[in-house]
Chain A
Amino acid sequence: MSLSEKQVVALIEELTVKHLRVWVQEGWIEPRIADEGPVYDEIDVARLRFVCQLKHEMNVNDDALPVILDLVDQLYGLRRTLRMVGHAIENQPQSTRDLIAKAIRESSGP
């Protein structure tokens, strides 16, 4: 999916051009840039819907929005890292996995 600014505003009911531009300016949304201007793909559209829901349905104000987005980005960053660590451990031989499990149990206290 590659949508222009116009198309993305038409697609998402609650979204106005004015808000979209401000959010891009603020760095909450990061479209790809092409010769003809900003281009929005699936993840941008889903993130825009999420921001719209935060703003309109949950009444989150503009001061709190970047705080939430920052925490959400950190959460997904941590989830991604944790999943990579999990996969890496999973691919180790059983003896290594046992050592890691033991080390985790020991470091998580009595």
Chain B
Amino acid sequence: MTDDPYEILGVPRDASQSEISKTYRKLAKKLHPDLNPGNPEAEERFKKVSGAYQLLKDPEQRERFDRGEIDASGAEKHQHKFYREYADAGDTGRYHSTAGFQDFEDVSDIFVDLFGQGRGPRANMRTRGPNVHYRMEVDFLEAVNGAKRRITMPDAKSIDLTIPAGTRADSVLRLKGKGRPGHGDGPAGDALIEIAVKPHHLFRREGDNIVIDLPITLDEAVLGGKVEVPTVSGRVNLTIPAGANSGRVMRLKGKGVKPVGRPAGDQLVKLTIAMPSEIDPELQAFIQTWRESHAYDPRTNIKSAS
């Protein structure tokens, strides 16, 4: 394939600047990768065409190229990522709309059932002002316990936003009348704020229950004991029963999420036995003796299954 920018654009060497721009514009509309997401050939051609145009659009640079002072490889390469690479990347493509199949009634609403009602078309002919969409990140504990945030909207107005206790990830808070103004006498639209919840380094959320992994020592596992456990509402004491095994789940009733209008969840504490970082000779000697008289097999189920 040719490197000559005139040939790439398909214009004569004596084309006027406006002719070059016009030709480029035409090709860009046809070939732009964001308008041709399924066509890698268009992307290749677009890169060449836009490189050629970068070189020829500036009359001074074009003259230098014509005189042979610079070659075509001096053309600026396309260095930014195309929008397509984000829009096409699954979950990050948050601008996508499901308006393209919302009327597929003849396939028994299967698409709407499966893929939900995404955002509809943006154009809005009604007199009510359109809604505006935002996303906001909140900390795990803010979503669990509730919080008040003062946020600045893109139009520089401040709004006091209450995040109710028990707010789930991806839930949408609606601020009535905080969207775009209506047409004529129509009321303003709403601001819809999608809440993204940052993960916590200790707590996980399962519905309204909070799950935490709690390492316990070998002696606590054998003898039982009281240990301190963090919960979303402060530390509490938990009694480990003697003989507690790894994987055992202890339930702290009512210590989970306390959502508005729903019963409180529990905190589930998953025990993991943590060996000491170093096995000292005393422990080793004891276990050696112990093994001789107390052999047991925790794998009988696994053996009989195979």
Contacts and interface: CB of A to CB of B under 8 A. Distances in A.
B83 A49 contact: yes
B136 A33 contact: yes
Interface string B145-162: 000011111111000000
B90 A80 contact: yes
A67 B123 CA distance: 8
B158 to A, nearest CB: 10
B50 to A, nearest CB: 8
A73 B111 contact: no
Interface residues of B, number: 53
Interface stretch (B33-41, B242-250, B261-269, B272-280): B33-41
B95 interface: yes
A97 interface: no
Contacts of B111: 81
Given A27-B180, A47-B83, A58 B154 contact: no
Nearest to A20: B154
Contacts of A53: 28, 32
Given A35-B150, A69-B122, A76-B37, A30 B95 contact: yes
Interface string B14-56: 0000000000110011001011011000000000000000000
Query: Which label, helix, strand, loop or mixed, suits the secondary structure of the A interface?
Result: helix
* Range for the number of chain A residues in contact with chain B: 35 or more
23 contacts: A27-B122, A27-B132, A30-B94, A30-B95, A30-B134, A31-B134, A33-B135, A33-B193, A34-B136, A34-B152, A37-B152, A43-B92, A46-B80, A46-B86, A58-B29, A58-B32, A66-B122, A66-B123, A70-B122, A73-B119, A74-B121, A76-B37, A79-B37
Interface of A: 5, 21, 24-25, 27-28, 30-38, 42-43, 46-47, 49-50, 53, 57-59, 66-70, 72-81, 84
